[in-house]
Structure 1
Amino acid sequence: MKRNFIIVFPEIGKGGAERVAASIVNHLIDEGYNVIVISLGPKHDYQFLELSEKVEIFHFSRKSKFDFSAFESIKVMFESRNVEYIFCIDFFAQLYMSMLRSHKKLNFKIVVNLHITIPKKKTDYLVNFLASRFLRKADWVVFISKNQEKYISSRFLLNSACKRTLIYNGIDTGKFIISNGEERIRLRESLLASSREDLLIIKVAGIRIEKDHETAIRALSYFHQVYAYKPKLIFVGDGDQNIKKGLENLSRELELTDYIVFVGFNEAVNQYLSCADLFTLTSHSVETFSLAALEAMSCGLPAVLTNIGGANEMINENNGSLSKPSDPIDIAQKWHLALAKDFNRENIRAFVVNEFDITKMNANYLKLFQHIEDSLMT
């Protein structure tokens, strides 16, 4: 008999949390589970997640954040399938399902997988704090970094009785490999019209407030003023068009239009990473354990990341450095030091392959779910 596995999203977007969840879902399908995906947001095209065709997807769109009109429909689904535990992505999905459990007097356990550390807004902090109050001692919290666990446990006064575990994010290292010199030159010319002499710093991130592209642009401006060479900054990713327009205006004001490229959303991220000399992230909140950073390092790129979330759990002296959030001068200085250092690309990749390959992550989640199922039987 196939085991049911229910995974609940607040909304299915294109972020790292969704990509991690999609990998877990497909692995569970391969292991013989019957997987049901519940989205509490609007219906989208999910082809980019590459979910197995065997996955069932249900949408319970809300008219407002706290629209509970779907409670009865979800209750009927759970009772008909004898649901004993569910897997929630981040705090809001857990809060919604906890309130369903309480209101409808259901008895399923909740496993919440957290992908945020510092909330980007005060309202997010309040929702997360409220959600943590609903966790019971039989529930589980899955953290994706040690720093995240420390922060959330202290700031949200997490129920000390609930169970917790740490599972690092993983990536498909087979898709992100080191390109040889000739291939790198060809990709630079074809994708970015750049020569082999250009130094390229790449940032792969959605254009959102918390990703702080503005500080990256100001760091590049400072870099050009202080140092004797002028690298280019490549932004891969799309998002808020108003923010993007402001970034383009800032680039013009700082006379950097010849040195900043907005690629937009592109599925061939690995090719752009292969072109670059250095990877960077300049986020000031939310970022917890970046898939983009792991993918870059899997391609052999050194990385300069702002020191938030679990950045210091993936960065060491052999693969990059950490910078201060919202500090363009410090970020520029760390870029300069990284570009001047002779990193061993093979060693950078080997670290990711050994520690953060997707097969290791999937195996750890499967082990957790099997442990929970064994405890339910006893």
Structure 2
Amino acid sequence: MKIAIVCYPTVGGSGIVATELAYNLASFGNIVHLVSYSPPFRFNKYNENIFFHNVPITNYPLFEFPMYTISIAAKLAEIVESENIEIIHCHYAIPHTISGIIAKEIVNKFSKVKVVTTLHGTDVTLVGKQENFRKIVQYALNKTDAITCVSEFLYQSTIREFSPNKPIEVIPNFVDTNEYKRQSNPKLRRKFADDEEKIIIHISNFRKVKRVPDVVQTFSLIQKQIPSRLILVGDGPDFSEVENLIIKLNLKDKVWLLGEQTSIVELLSISDLFILTSETEGFGLAALEAMSCEVPVVCYNVGGLSEFVFDGINGFLVPLGNIELLANKSIELLRNDTLRQSFAINARKTVVKNFDSRIITEKYLNLYLSLINGSIL
């Protein structure tokens, strides 16, 4: 099969999943064309079946803002025509699905290319709810040939908000469990913490919706009872606010601010606990990656997280905004090595059984084939 995947290149679940999907599809022998305005964050390994297409954003004096949507559409139409693309897979409804639909219309006289839209979360829960975007999101969902959502939560949200005119398939996010597995590295661990200290980690893009200050406030409570260090991985709009809060709470000597990192497995492998404080999560890929590396997750019970973080089995779920309970549950795990180890083993089992990359990639391949063969109309 020949597939074009369009995504945002920045750090975040949608871009990461799109890029990892490209690698997995290529490993099945498919030809994949990645399309974005710069190489995606996780696009860092050569594969002879993957080709990257940079989208030039035209800056013409007549137009006050760059024409991103049109530029993507033009590039997609060009690739469909030159490479005989069968599937355009758009990650994030706005603007990528609109671009995919325009490209399909441009080439419809000589191509039967199909457009697949994968919804990741904020394209429905935040962007799509804005009144000035609602109708264009609904148009995109009604015009695309197939829709997938990364969680049951997002599926329900999409039905409730937009009532698309076609079925939606839930295909969750995934992890390469052969890559994301715990690796013993005592030397690296000692660089971040003493032997008697626990390591807590948080990974995100530091946007407002991630509520990273809640992580810092939670750690402030934890470290008063448990000798521990906090590793914060990522960067974004709230980075300065987080940094100032760390100083204000006198935690500078106990918190590592690492910024964006690519060696996530190494950092997860030295960690004892993953804390996630998002206000909403379409899925929660960072938590799944942590669990694959046998790191139990303590998080707010929001969005799609409860679909793989099982309270009292492989992690803890607490009500949104309850920092004290978040800290207490974290302390409960960090104090009890037997319980934490049990959660860690269960976390890994959950990911391997239900969210391994090969299992999920086959679901996408089956969807593509159904579209090409006409069994989805």
Q: Distance in 1 between matches of 2:251 and 2:365?
A: 48
- 1:187 matched to 2:188? The reply is yes
* Counterpart residue number, 2:136: 130
Give matches, 1:207-286, under 5 Å: 207-224=206-223, 228-237=225-234, 239-240=235-236, 243-285=238-280
Cα 1:269–1:60 change in 2 (3 A) is closer
* Counterpart residue number, 2:91: 89
* Corresponding letter in the other structure for 2:154: Q
Mean Cα deviation higher: 86-95 or 335-344 = 335-344
Cα 1:244–1:46 change in 2 (3 A) is closer
Kindly tell me the number of residue pairs found equivalent between the two proteins.
361
Match of 2:115 among 89, 92, 110: 110
Mean Cα deviation higher: 273-282 or 22-31 = 22-31
Cα 1:47–1:281 change in 2 (3 A) is closer
Please list every run of 5 or more consecutive structure 2 residues that lacks an aligned counterpart in the other structure.
Answer: 60-64
Cα 1:82–1:357 change in 2 (3 A) is closer
* Counterpart residue number, 1:8: 6
Q: Percent of pairs identical after alignment?
A: 25
* Counterpart residue number, 1:174: 178
- Equivalent residues of 2:199, 2:228 under 8 A apart: yes
Cα 1:69–1:18 change in 2 (3 A) is closer
* Corresponding letter in the other structure for 1:288: G
Q: Distance in 1 between matches of 2:275 and 2:268?
A: 11
Match of 2:160 among 135, 154, 158: 154
Q: Distance in 1 between matches of 2:334 and 2:29?
A: 47
Q: Distance in 2 between matches of 1:320 and 1:138?
A: 37
- 1:353 matched to 2:348? The reply is no
Q: Distance in 2 between matches of 1:45 and 1:144?
A: 19
Please list every run of 5 or more consecutive structure 1 residues that lacks an aligned counterpart in the other structure.
Answer: none
TM-score of the two chains, using structure 1 as the length reference:
0.83
* Corresponding letter in the other structure for 1:250: L
Q: Distance in 1 between matches of 2:87 and 2:345?
A: 42
Match of 2:315 among 308, 312, 320: 320
Q: Distance in 2 between matches of 1:137 and 1:196?
A: 57
3-state secondary structure, aligned to 1:136: helix
Shift of 1:266: 2.7
* Corresponding letter in the other structure for 1:33: N
* Corresponding letter in the other structure for 1:7: I
Q: Distance in 1 between matches of 2:151 and 2:160?
A: 15
Write the deviation string for residues 157-190 of structure 1: whole angstroms up to 9, x where unpaired. 131x3132111211121223345xxx4543321x
Shift of 1:72: 5.1
Shift of 1:95: 2.3
3-state secondary structure, aligned to 2:201: strand
Q: Distance in 2 between matches of 1:29 and 1:313?
A: 28
* Counterpart residue number, 2:62: none
Q: Distance in 2 between matches of 1:362 and 1:122?
A: 27
* Corresponding letter in the other structure for 1:145: S
Cα 1:229–1:12 change in 2 (3 A) is closer
* Corresponding letter in the other structure for 2:5: I
Q: Distance in 2 between matches of 1:153 and 1:315?
A: 24
3-state secondary structure, aligned to 2:14: helix
Shift of 1:340: 3.8
Match of 1:17 among 9, 14, 19: 14
Shift of 1:45: 7.1
Shift of 1:151: 1.1
Shift of 1:84: 4.9
